[in-house]
Structure 1
Amino acid sequence: MVAQTAKFLEGNLFRHITVMSLTASVGLMAIFFVDFVDMIFISMLGNEALAAAVGYAGAILFFTTSFGIGMAIAGGALVARALGEGDEQKARRLTTNALLYGVIFGAIFAAIVWQFLDPLTRLLGATGETQALAVLYLSIIIPSLPLLMIGMMGGAILRAYGDARRAMIATILGGVVNAVLDPILIFGFDLELIGAALASVAARLTIAAVALRPILQHHGGFDRPNVASALKDLMPVLAIAVPAILTQLATPIGQAYVTRAMAEFGEVAVAGMAVVSRLTPLSFAVLFALSGAVGPIIGQNSGAGMHARVGRTFRDALIFIALYVAAVAALLFFLRQPIADLFQAEGIGRQLIYLFCGPLALAFFFNGVLFVANAAFNNLGHPFYSTWINWGRHTLGTIPFVMLGGFMFGAPGVLIGQAAGGLVFAAVAWWLALRVIAQQTEKKAPPQPFARQGRLLQLFNFRR
C-alpha cells in the first residue's frame, strides 16, 4: 500500500524535485500571470491612484494569503507523513479535519481583517482617494478567504499524495476564469477596480471546487466529520499550523514596513513597487512552488525512516535553486526595457523595475534557501525554527536594512535594503537545516515529530 501512495521513497530525487516544482509552478504562474495582467489593465485606466491602491491592498492580501499558506503547510505535512507511514485511513481522516479547520479559522480571520480594513490601510500610509479605493477592493476579496483556504489546502494535500498534476489543473483553471472575467468586468461592464476584485473571487471559488474533486474521486475521499475525530486532530494540526502561520505572517508584516517606507517617496514609487510585486512571483513561481514540492518529498522519506534521502533532497533543492535563479536573472536583464515600457513606467517607477531585473533577481537565491529550509523544518518536527528564522529575516533582516537603504539611495535603496537583509538569515537557515537533518539521521527511533509542540499548545489552552 505504501508503494501506491508514497511515491517519493524511491527514484531520482533531483527528478522528483524538478517534476514537482515545474508542475506546481505552472498552476502558480497562471495565477501570478493573471495578477500581472490585472496590473496592466489597471495601468491602462490611466489613474495612478488605482495602481497605488492595488499596491496597498496587495500588502494586506499577502497577510491573509500567508494565513492560508500556514494552514496548507499543516495539512500537507500531516498527510504526507501519514502516507509515508503507510496509514491511508489516517491520511483520509487528517485530510477531512485539516480542511474543516481551514474553513473555520479562515472565516474567523477574514471577519477580523474585514472589520479593520480602514485602519490597516491607513497604517500602511494610504490616504485620500487611494485609501478609499484600497478599502473598496479589499472589502470584496477578503470575505472569500475560506474559499482560498480550501483551494490552497486542497492543493497541498494533492501534492502530499504526489498528485501535482491535478493540483496544477486547479490553479490553471482558476487563472483562466480570472483572465476571462478581468477584461469583461473591468472594461466591458466599466467596473474598474470592483471588476478586478470580483474576478479574483470567482477564481478562488473555481480553484477550491477543482482541488476538492480529485481528493474525493482518486485519493480516498473524506471521512464523515465528527466531534471526537476533529478534537483528536486539533492539536496535531495546530502544532504545525500555529508556527507555520506565524512564520508566514512575518513576510507580509515585513512587506508592510517596506510599503510604508516606499510611501515616503510618493504614489509613483508605490505604483512602481506594485509592478515589482507582480513581477516577483511570476518570475520566481518555480521557487515558490519548490517549497511546497520539497515538503512532501521530505515528509514521506522522513516518515519512512529514510533519512539519507532527506539530506540529498535538501542538497538537490539548493542546486535546483541556483540553476533556476541564474537563468531567470539573465532573462529579466535582457527584457528589462520592454517590461518597463509595458507599464509605461517613468522616473522612479522605471528605476525600480530596472533594479529588480538586475541584481535583485540574483539575490532571490537567498529567498529560495529560506523556502527550502522552512520546508525541512516543518516536515522534520521543528516548525518553530521556521517561525524564528522568518521573523528574524523580516524584522532584524528588514527594518534596519530598509531604513539605511532608503536614507542612502532613496526609493531604490528600500528594495536594496530588503534584499540585503536576506543574505544573513539565509546563511543561518542553511546551517540550521543541515543540523536538523543530521540529528534526524543519528536517531534510530525518532519520537513523534510534532508531539512536543502539541503538548505545549495543550498546556497553553488548558492553563486558563
Structure 2
Amino acid sequence: MKQNALLTASIAPLLKRLTWPVMGGMLTLMSFNLVDTFFISLLGTQQLAAISFTFPVTFTLISLAIGLSIGTSAVIAKALGSGNEDDAKSDSLSALWLSAILVFVLALLGLLFLDPLFLLLGASDEILLYIREYMVIWLAGSVLLVSPMIGNAILRAAGETKIPSLVMASGGLVNAVLDPILIFGFGPIPSMAMQGAALATVISWLTGFVFIIYWLSVKRGLLTRWFLPWRQWLSICRKILHIGLPAAGANMLTPLAMAVLTAIMASYGPEAVAAFGVGARIESIACLVVLALSMTLPPVISQNFGAAQFSRVKQAYELCCRFVLGWQAVIYLILALLAYPISALFTDHPQVAEYLRWFIWIMPVAYGLQGIIILTNSSFNALHLPAKAVVLSVFRLFICYVPLAWVGGVLFGVVGVFIGCIIANLITASVAYYWYHRVLQRFA
C-alpha cells in the first residue's frame, strides 16, 4: 500500500485494510498468551494467583513501551504526512535507542524492589516464591520486548501493518510451542515450572527482536546507521517524549489501577485474584478489535493532521466509535453464552470458576464503552495532545474506576467490584466522546 493512501483513500476501506492484518497478529499473540495462562493454571491455584499478581508490574513495563511507541508513531507519521522522509528515519533510530534505555532502567528498579512491591500488593509468602521465579527471568529479558514494539510502531506509521502482524504472530507462536516444553519438561529438558513460562516468553521476544531489526535495516532501509550525533539524538528524544512520556504515563496508570484492584481482590482470597487474572486475559481477546484499531487509527489521524485534513480526522474517529459499540455488543453475547465452558477450561476450583463466570457475565457489558475511551486516548496522542490523554486516563481510573469498584465491593463483594467497573466506563466514555468533539472544533 502506498504511503499517501492514508491521506487520500476512503476512510472505511482504509481502516479495514490496515486493521485486519493487525488483528490477525494480535489474535495469534493473545491466544498464545491465553494458552500460557492455561498451562500455568495446570500447575495449581497458587501458581495461577502468582501470575495474576505479576500482571500490574509486567504491564507497567509494557505500558512504557506502548507509550513510547505511541510517541514514535505520532512523530514519524506526522513527518511522513508533511513529506519529511529523512526526519522520519532519524526519528526511528532515536526511538529504538531511547526505548531500550528507559525499559532497562525500569526493569532494574523492578528487580531491586521485587519482594516489597508484591508484598505491598497483598501476595502471601508462599505465592511470592512463585512470583520471584517468574519475574526475575521476565525482567532480565524485558529489554528484548521493547525493540519489536517500537519497530512495529515505525512500520505502522508508514502505513505498513502486515509485517508488524507477522512479528506479533511469530513471537506468540514461539511462546506457545515452548510453554509446555519448558514448564513441564520434555526429553532431556527438565521441568522448570514458572521459570519455564518466563523463559519461553523471553525467547519469543528474542525472535521478534531479530526479525524486526533485520526488516527495518535490510528489507526497508529505515535503519541506515546505528548512531546519531548526540545533540540531534537529544532533540529527537524530546519530540518523542513530548508525546511518548505522557502516553506512557497514561498507560502506566492502567497497571497502577489494576494493582489497586488486585489488592482489593486479594482481600477476598487467592481464588478471587486467580479469577480476576484469567478474566483480564480473556478481556484482552474480547477487546481485540478495539486494541487493533487503537494501533491503526493513530497513523491515519496523525498523517491527516500533518496534512491539515481535519475532516478526515473526525470521520475516522466517529466511524471507529460506532463500529466498536456494535462489535462489542456481539462479543458480549458470545461470552455470556460460553461462560460455563470457559471457566471449566481454566480451573476446576469451584470458587475460582464462580468468580470467573461472574466476571464474564458482567465486565464485557461495558467493553464497547471502554473501546471509546481507548480510541479517544489514542486519538488525542495522534493529534499531539498527550496531556489530554493523561487527564482522561486519570479521570477514568482514579476518579471513577477504582473508587466505584471499591464501593461496589463494599456493598456487594466481588460481584460489586465488577459492577462498579461498568459504571465507571459508562461515565468516562460519555465524557471522552464529548471532549474529543469539542477539541476537534478548534481545527475544523
Q: TM-score range by the shorter chain?
A: over 0.9
TM-score (norm 1): 0.91
**8 Å Cα contact 2:326-2:368 kept in structure 1:** no
- Give the alignment partner of residue 27 of structure 2, picking from 26, 29, 32: 29
**8 Å Cα contact 2:142-2:202 kept in structure 1:** no
Aligned counterpart, 2:51: 54
Aligned counterpart, 1:38: 36
Residues 216-257 of structure 1 deviation map (CA, whole Å, 9 limit, x = unaligned): 244332243221320221210110111111111110011001
Aligned counterpart, 1:213: 214
1:120 aligns with 2:117: yes
**8 Å Cα contact 1:21-1:287 kept in structure 2:** no
Aligned counterpart, 1:447: none
1:411 aligns with 2:414: yes
TM-score (norm 2): 0.95
Calculate the aligned-residue CA RMSD, in Å. Answer: 1.5
**8 Å Cα contact 1:40-1:343 kept in structure 2:** yes
Aligned counterpart, 2:344: 341
Residues 44-75 of structure 1 deviation map (CA, whole Å, 9 limit, x = unaligned): 22x21101100101121111111111111011
**8 Å Cα contact 2:12-2:319 kept in structure 1:** yes
In structure 1, distance between residues paired with 2:142 and 2:440: 35
Residues 12-45 of structure 1 deviation map (CA, whole Å, 9 limit, x = unaligned): 2122223323321221222211221112112222
Aligned counterpart, 1:7: 5
Aligned counterpart, 2:61: 64
Q: Deviation of residue 381 (structure 1)? A: 2.1
1:200 aligns with 2:197: no
Residues 168-211 of structure 1 deviation map (CA, whole Å, 9 limit, x = unaligned): 00000001110110011011221111100000101111122222
Aligned counterpart, 2:191: 190
4+ long deviations beyond 3 Å: 217-220, 345-348
How many residues align structurally?
A: 438
Aligned counterpart, 2:381: 378
**Identity value in percent:** 31
Q: Deviation of residue 345 (structure 1)? A: 4.4
SS in 1 for 2:192: coil
**8 Å Cα contact 1:57-1:135 kept in structure 2:** no
In structure 2, distance between residues paired with 1:285 and 1:345: 27
**8 Å Cα contact 1:20-1:293 kept in structure 2:** yes
Instruction: Label 1:9 to 1:268 Cα distance change in 2 as closer, same or farther (>3 A).
Output: same
**8 Å Cα contact 2:365-2:422 kept in structure 1:** no
In structure 2, distance between residues paired with 1:104 and 1:428: 36
In structure 1, distance between residues paired with 2:402 and 2:55: 19
Instruction: Label 1:84 to 1:218 Cα distance change in 2 as closer, same or farther (>3 A).
Output: farther
**8 Å Cα contact 1:76-1:156 kept in structure 2:** yes
- Give the alignment partner of residue 267 of structure 2, picking from 239, 261, 264: 264
In structure 1, distance between residues paired with 2:145 and 2:298: 20
**8 Å Cα contact 1:272-1:345 kept in structure 2:** no
SS in 1 for 2:66: helix
Q: Which runs of 5+ in 1 are unaligned?
A: 442-464
In structure 1, distance between residues paired with 2:17 and 2:323: 11
